[in-house]
Amino acid sequence: MRRCLIVVVGLLLATATVTAEAPKLGVGLSGGLDWPLLQEDQGNGTVFSFRGRIEIAPILVVEPNLTLVNWGDPDLGIPGVTNDLEGASVTAFGVDGLLRIPMGSPTSGPFALAGVGFYKVKRDQTNLDETRFGLAGGLGFAFGINPAISADLRGKLHVIPMPAGGSKKSLSAMLGVNYTFGM
């Protein structure tokens, strides 16, 4: 699978060399909240993401990323009953593709994203330690501050198939900032 990711990124970079301008490189950082979907064994948590940015064309951006999620302790919903089970942590390395729709400014406008990656789900109390291939998708809106700096708000759905059947799913809402080099 890693070979497939390398081939896809290589093809996207090769496409940029055929166009008139070189790809623009940048970095981004975002953080926010994460809500596990249909998982009674996890509580709401936090998410942080560090990403590189390769702008292949004005409407296409590739983002290799590292995402860290800490799910909260589950709530049984029974008054007076406490639970000592801790939430799991997820470390993900993946690649997202963003399809931007510029609206008046090349750095502002809505975007859709789709991605693939490897997700490591770990919970010490239950010896859960699985690394699985997963998918992500979502929508967002970028706000250009100047040609080099932009902020964005994005919602992202993560789906991690598990070996025993079923999947771990969560929805992230993140606010981030991006910087493009050489602008």
94: closest CA among 143, 40, 134? 134
Tokens coding 166: 């079923």
Tokens coding 2: 């890693």
Residue 165's pLDDT is: 78
Residue 70's pLDDT is: 86
Distance spanning both ends of the chain, measured CA to CA: 34
Tokens coding 112: 């859709």
CA dihedral 101, 24, 94, 139 (to 10 degrees): -20
Q: Which neighbouring-strand residues pair with 143?
A: 151
- Report the CATH architecture of 2-180: Beta Barrel (2.40)
Classify the phi-psi angles of 15: left when phi > 0, otherwise alpha if psi is within -120 to 50, otherwise beta. Answer: alpha
Per-residue pLDDT of the chain (183 residues; tens, 9 = 90+): 566 556 555 655 555 444 456 888 999 999 999 988 877 767 788 999 999 999 998 889 999 999 998 887 766 666 655 566 677 788 999 999 999 887 767 778 899 999 999 998 887 666 667 788 999 999 999 998 888 899 999 999 999 888 777 888 889 999 999 999 876
Q: Write down the domain spans for the chain.
A: 2-180
